[in-house]
Amino acid sequence: MGRLAKNPDIAPGSLGVRLPISTTALSDAPLDGVIRFNETNSKIEFYYGAQWNQVAKIGNVTIVKDTFTTVDAQTTYGPMTYTYTAGQESSVVVFVGGVHQDPVTNYQFDGSANISINPSTGGTANQSIVIIHNLNSTDAA
């Protein structure tokens, strides 16, 4: 049998539901799937993988593209518009010579605004490198 949770913020005919409100300082360790409004950063968050995660971008996201051209034996290109640390490779989409590149396998970040392309990927001169940013953005508006 199910239980009915009474919530005074939900009235008959209501078109929405008020999320529980919390702050970063009051974070507890709920079960995966819990959702809340974080009053500290003004973002909707869900709990998954032992941490609070932001749900989505508020407003419009500007897609940014950086373009470079490969040079023989060169493996580092930049500066890019944004800086990434190691482990954030899946935050961008990269194409070399029109071919999609696999994050980590074909390119890496080191905390600078540069991208390192593996020599086997970008070893031929005059290939276009296209880096697309903000496809997964959850930054606040």
For every residue of 65-123, DSSP letters joined together read EEEEE--TT--EE---SS---TT-GGGSEEEETTEE--BTTTEE--SSS-EEEPHHHH-
Based on the fold, state whether residues 75 and 36 are members of the same structural domain.
Answer: no
Domains held by the chain: number:
2
Based on the fold, state whether residues 44 and 98 are members of the same structural domain.
Answer: no
The mean per-residue pLDDT over the stretch 89-112 comes to: 91
Q: What is the C-alpha separation between 115 and 74, in angstroms, rounded?
A: 11
The token pair at 9 is: 């913020």
Tell me the pLDDT band of 106, cut-offs 50, 70 and 90: very high
In 3-state terms, the chain is what percent helix, strand and coil (to 5)? 5, 30, 65
Per residue in 30-41, pLDDT tens? 788 888 888 888
Domain extent, residue 87, equals: 64-133
Q: Is the pTM of this model over 0.85?
A: no
* Residue where a domain terminates, one of 55, 73, 95: 55
Least confident of 48-52, 58-62, 125-129: 58-62
